[in-house]
Amino acid sequence: MSEFNLQVEENSDRLDRYLAEELPDLSRSRIQQLIEQGNVQLNNQVCTSKKINIKVGDRITLEIPEAQPLELQAEEIPLDILYEDDQIIILNKPAGLVVHPAPGHPDGTLVNALLAHCPNLPGIGGVQRPGIVHRLDKDTTGAIAIAKTDIAYQSLQAQLQAKTARREYLGVVYGAPKTESGIIDLPIGRNPQDRKKMAVIPIEKGGRSAVTHWRVLERLGNYTLVHFQLETGRTHQIRVHSTKIGHPIVGDPVYGSGRSVGVNLPGQALHAWRLKVQHPISEDVIEVTASPPQTFTTLLEVLRRRSAISS
């Protein structure tokens, strides 16, 4: 359990607003939930009113209870397996599949599917995220590696940290980049205005180093097929970086432009195309290529036809 003890030094109109300002790592909705659940004391008395006014000298204690482990259930969900042995498994993840259970997504995740496929997976790398060393967003498709043993988990994690694992993506972006390639080196952190989103945040304000390499593969009028390679692996990194340089990923519901392209996409047109790692035991290089989903190839076909007509 985590505990925060605060003393009010300036008048503030509401308890929840004060706590949100003093504890920026917690969302306001999370703070309100903690208040309603009796985890906040005001002057040594439990306070369940988020709207109560506080004043200079008030003492506030906020307790954050330990997260309760999710009851993970094995589920028979089809898996597109690109590589598998007794140490690791590499899959081609479809759009719409959440990687691991979380509040709001307690089941139907990749982890639930893996538990049915790999009975010995529980406990590897953590109870709530067994075997998961990196993740893909819900609607990002493509190659993802999962550890089946503790040795594999440590090895894959070390390769990601040392930047020796190679992760390549294909993405369709709005607009036409002025150059053929580039490097985006901009730190990323939690968006202070919307805790569910990420943003470019200076390191001195909590951002973490994020580097994305990109190059143009095909120009399609006012759209471009881009090859991305991650040097780091921050949450939503490619999506945030692409938007920041003025070329958001097509179909991105969070960071995109909201413009329709006339193709029914399940989400952002971003695909983890190629993954290269070193085998944790043999040290052989394993390189897999994940075929893009039909929606991605349909989008490219439509944009190619439009580009041909307009030219």
Q: Name which of 11-20, 162-171, 200-209 the model is least confident about.
A: 11-20
The pLDDT score that the predictor gives to residue 35 is: 92
The pLDDT score that the predictor gives to residue 105 is: 76
- Check whether residue 60 and residue 109 sit in a common domain: no
What's the mean pLDDT in 207-227?
Answer: 97
The beta strands (E) that lie in 94-178 are given as 141-147, 166-174
β-pairing, 166-174 vs 270-278, is antiparallel
- Check whether residue 260 and residue 188 sit in a common domain: yes
pLDDT in tens, 40-73: 999 999 999 988 999 899 999 999 887 655 578 8
Contacts of 47 (CB under 8 A, 6+ apart): 15, 35, 40, 41
User: Is residue 164 helix, strand or coil?
Assistant: coil
The pLDDT score that the predictor gives to residue 70 is: 57
Token reading at 73: 């259930």
Residue 75 lies in a domain: no
Q: What is the rounded distance in angstroms from the CA atom of residue 212 to the CA atom of residue 36?
A: 42
The pLDDT score that the predictor gives to residue 68 is: 59
Token reading at 102: 């979380």
Residue 70 lies in a domain: no
Indicate if the pLDDT at residue 2 is higher than 90: no
Q: For this structure, is 139 an active site residue?
A: no
Angle of CA points 245, 251, 246, to nearest 5°:
10
pLDDT in tens, 271-288: 999 999 999 999 999 999
Q: What is the rounded distance in angstroms from the CA atom of residue 187 to the CA atom of residue 202?
A: 6
Laid out side by side, the sheet with 59-64 consists of 2-7, 59-64, 40-42, 45-46
What's the mean pLDDT in 25-41?
Answer: 86
Last residue in a domain, options 30, 64, 98? 64
Distance of CA 234 to the CA centre of its chain: 7
pLDDT in tens, 219-255: 999 999 999 999 999 999 999 999 999 999 999 999 9
pLDDT in tens, 86-129: 999 999 999 999 998 876 777 899 999 999 999 888 777 777 78
Catalytic residue among 137, 185, 252, 284: 137
Answer whether 79's CB lies under 8 Å from 117's CB.
yes
Whole-Å CA distances, 6 to 17, 42, 64, 276: 14, 10, 14, 48
Answer whether 200's CB lies under 8 Å from 190's CB.
no
Q: What is the rounded distance in angstroms from the CA atom of residue 270 to the CA atom of residue 17?
A: 37
What mean pLDDT is reported for the chain? 91
- Check whether residue 107 and residue 15 sit in a common domain: no
The pLDDT score that the predictor gives to residue 267 is: 92
pLDDT band of 309, cuts 50, 70, 90: confident
CATH number at residue 222: 3.30.2350.10
Q: What angle do helix axes 28-36 and 15-22 make, rounded to 10 degrees?
A: 130
pTM given for the model: 0.78
Q: Tell me which H or E stretch contains 302.
A: helix 294-310
- Check whether residue 6 and residue 107 sit in a common domain: no
User: Is residue 149 helix, strand or coil?
Assistant: coil
The pLDDT score that the predictor gives to residue 1 is: 64
**By residue range, what is the domain housing residue 142?**
81-310
Q: How many domains does the chain have?
A: 2
